[in-house]
């Protein structure tokens, strides 16, 4: 390099420096762009069926709260869900309020799910009765096999 | 790499006409204040690049705009950096254009035969302000909302057509999601396009007329 430079005049040297900086800048910006634009989470969500209870423990009428245990990203998670029996149909409801994700509770005396955060109220089917929630509670897929109840959770 | 460009240039023939521009002699009395225009242009390129990146994640909708900003800032890799970079570049962009304007004014470079270039430059400054105003709404937080509310209310005081201009700007009677989409389109499509045109004109005129020398 020094040999080469001794033949070059100042302008050529400056031009070369400019080129060098342009290339470095170009690669840095490309790198930043790729880092920025590349998606962070790539793995698809899978529905995993988690054991809840035996079939005989299901409510005959009304809603009942269950705690289910499973692992998410190799960490044990406890999750609250509701299983509702309206007499006509049996289904499972998510316990997170559709407004901002607080955990709702079932109040049998009022026959409503109540959210403690902003006063959202849902009826027994999960439809909004009162308050800020924009949509009804999420229904969770449920299946009963060999008298055991399983709930589908997206992991 | 140099050889690659040589090969490209054999077909495009860009180098020769630009060599005359890039290697022209500059007049006496030029100093570092003459770089302010170049600083502004560099910042324009920075804004363009970081804006292109932000546009990948930003959602111009009433419900999701703020959430997408939070997502960019906290979740996306380098997101906070790019967003802050865009914001600060915008501030420095305006400042450097104003300083550039002062330099041109002090050196009397707005006089004949450069009056058209002064007009083009002024239009660029106005567009830069417009970009700032429309971009300010995009985070869709309280500050953004009320700034736009006040800004578009000022227009109402214009005699006769005032209210209609404000309806036109807001896309309705109030600042709503319609305003957000409107401002997003103007900020990311209309203004950059116009800006590119004006900057081309600006540089073409500098190329034609040369740089005005010192005092």
B99-105: Cβ within 8 A, 24+ apart: B99/B36, B100/B36, B100/B37, B100/B39, B100/B40, B101/B125, B103/B33, B103/B34, B103/B36, B103/B37
Q: Does A51 lie in the same domain as A33?
A: no
Tokens matching residue A103: 């955990």
By residue range, what is the domain housing residue A24?
A: 2-37
| pLDDT score recorded for residue B117 | 95
Q: Within a domain: residue A17?
A: yes
The answer to whether the CB of A70 falls within 8 A of the CB of A153 is yes
Q: Does A22 lie in the same domain as A75?
A: no
Q: Does A89 lie in the same domain as A16?
A: no
pLDDT tens-digit series, residues A47-104: 888 888 887 778 888 888 888 888 777 788 888 888 888 888 888 888 888 888 888 8
Q: Does A101 lie in the same domain as A30?
A: no
Q: Within a domain: residue A130?
A: yes
Q: Does A103 lie in the same domain as A79?
A: yes
Interchain pair A35, B77: CB under 8 A: yes
DSSP string, B195-207: HHHHHHHHHHHHH
The answer to whether the CB of A103 falls within 8 A of the CB of A76 is no
Nearest to A67 by CA among A95, A98, A106: A95
Q: Does A75 lie in the same domain as A30?
A: no
Q: What is the pTM of this model?
A: 0.71
Q: Does A80 lie in the same domain as A137?
A: yes
Average pLDDT over residues B163-189: 94
Structural domain count of chain A: 2
| pLDDT score recorded for residue A85 | 85
| pLDDT score recorded for residue B1 | 66
Q: Could you report the predicted ipTM of this complex, rounded to two decimals? A: 0.77
Q: Within a domain: residue A42?
A: no
Q: Does A128 lie in the same domain as A73?
A: yes
Q: Does A55 lie in the same domain as A8?
A: no
| pLDDT score recorded for residue A35 | 92
Q: List the single residue in A19, A23, A35 with the smallest CB-CB distance to B78.
A: A35
Cα separations in angstroms, B66 against A37, A100, B58? 19, 15, 9
CA distance A92 to A139: 6
Secondary structure letter of residue A96 according to DSSP: B
Interchain pair A37, B75: CB under 8 A: no
Tell me the chain A residues in contact with residue B2 when contact means C-beta distances shorter than 8 Å.
19
Mention the CATH class of domain B33-209. Answer: mainly alpha
Average pLDDT over residues B121-128: 96
Q: Does A100 lie in the same domain as A73?
A: yes
Closest alpha carbon within chain A to B46:
A29
pLDDT tens-digit series, residues A96-152: 888 888 888 888 888 888 888 888 888 888 888 888 888 888 888 888 888 888 888
Q: Is A114 left (phi over 0), alpha (psi -120 to 50) or beta?
A: beta
């Amino acid at each position: 390099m020094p040999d080469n430079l001794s033949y070059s005049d100042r302008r050529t040297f400056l031009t070369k420096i400019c080129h060098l900086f342009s290339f470095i800048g170009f690669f840095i910006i490309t790198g930043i762009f790729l880092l920025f634009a590349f998606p962070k989470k790539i793995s698809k969500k899978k529905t995993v069926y988690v054991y809840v209870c035996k079939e005989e423990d299901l409510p005959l009428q009304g809603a009942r709260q269950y705690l289910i245990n499973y692992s998410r990203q190799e960490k044990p998670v406890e999750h609250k869900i509701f299983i509702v029996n309206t007499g006509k149909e049996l289904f499972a409801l998510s316990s997170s309020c559709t407004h901002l994700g607080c955990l709702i509770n079932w109040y049998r005396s009022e026959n409503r799910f109540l959210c403690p955060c902003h006063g959202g109220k849902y009826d027994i089917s999960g439809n909004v009765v009162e308050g800020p929630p924009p949509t009804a509670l999420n229904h969770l897929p449920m299946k009963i096999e060999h008298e055991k109840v399983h709930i589908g959770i997206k992991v | 790499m140099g050889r690659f460009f040589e090969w490209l240039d054999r077909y495009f023939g860009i180098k020769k006409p630009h060599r005359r521009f890039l290697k022209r002699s500059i007049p006496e009395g030029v100093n570092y204040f003459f770089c302010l225009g170049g600083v502004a242009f560099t910042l324009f390129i920075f804004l363009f690049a970081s804006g292109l990146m932000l546009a990948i994640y930003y959602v111009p909708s009433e419900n999701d705009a703020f959430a997408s900003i939070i997502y960019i800032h906290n979740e996306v890799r380098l997101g906070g950096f790019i967003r802050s970079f865009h914001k600060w570049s915008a501030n420095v962009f305006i400042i450097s254009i104003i300083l550039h304007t002062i330099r041109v004014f002090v050196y009397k470079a707005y006089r004949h035969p450069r009056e058209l270039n002064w007009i083009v430059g002024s239009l660029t400054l106005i567009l830069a302000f417009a970009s700032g105003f429309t971009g300010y709404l995009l985070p869709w937080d309280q500050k953004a909302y009320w700034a736009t509310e006040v800004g578009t209310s000022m227009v109402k005081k214009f005699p006769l057509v005032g209210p209609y201009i404000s309806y036109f700007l807001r896309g309705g009677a109030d600042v709503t999601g319609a305003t957000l989409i409107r401002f997003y389109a103007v900020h990311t499509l209309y203004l950059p396009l116009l800006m590119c045109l004006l900057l081309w004109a600006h540089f073409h005129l500098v190329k034609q007329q040369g740089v005005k020398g010192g005092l």
